[in-house]
Amino acid sequence: AQSVTQLGSHVSVSEGALVLLRCNYSSSVPPYLFWYVQYPNQGLQLLLKYTSAATLVKGINGFEAEFKKSETSFHLTKPSAHMSDAAEYFCAVSVRGGSNYKLTFGKGTLLTVNP
């Protein structure tokens, strides 16, 4: 079984500052990893995904994440926060094979951006 731990349920940054949202996973087989963002009253939107190609993955809105197998991590970063980045962010994992549709999510990190 796989699991995801997101460190910090709430992260607050200043506009223009670095955004770092942490995600560690546990999986007995090589994983697929995802970051989703949820704006208020909206559904989850895929930011980026790791599927075993490049370990540094670039996503939408200037976000990127790096897969580090030795650290079992998939942290999300953005060099400069914008007010519009304020949202809840979810890290998710799935496994290779026939059940790759079954996403397992972390509890989420609420990002606040201060002016």
Partner 1 sequence: NADVMQNPRHLVRRRGQEARLRCSPMKGHSHVYWYRQLPEEGLKFMVYLQKENIIDESGMPKERFSAEFPKEGPSILRIQQVVRGDSAAYFCASSPRLGLAGDPSYNEQFFGPGTRLTVL
Q: Which residues bind partner 1 (CB under 8 A)?
A: 4, 6, 32, 36, 41-46, 49, 51, 90, 92, 94, 96-108
Q: Residue 7 in contact with residue 73, Cβ under 8 Å?
A: no
Task: Give the containing element (helix H, strand E) for 2.
Answer: none
Give the dihedral sign, CA 61/26/55/77.
positive
The Cβ-side half-sphere exposure at 12, using a 13 Å CA radius, reads: 2
Distance of CA 91 to the CA centre of its chain: 4
1 is written with which tokens?
Answer: 């079984």
Residues pairing with 50 in the sheet: 33
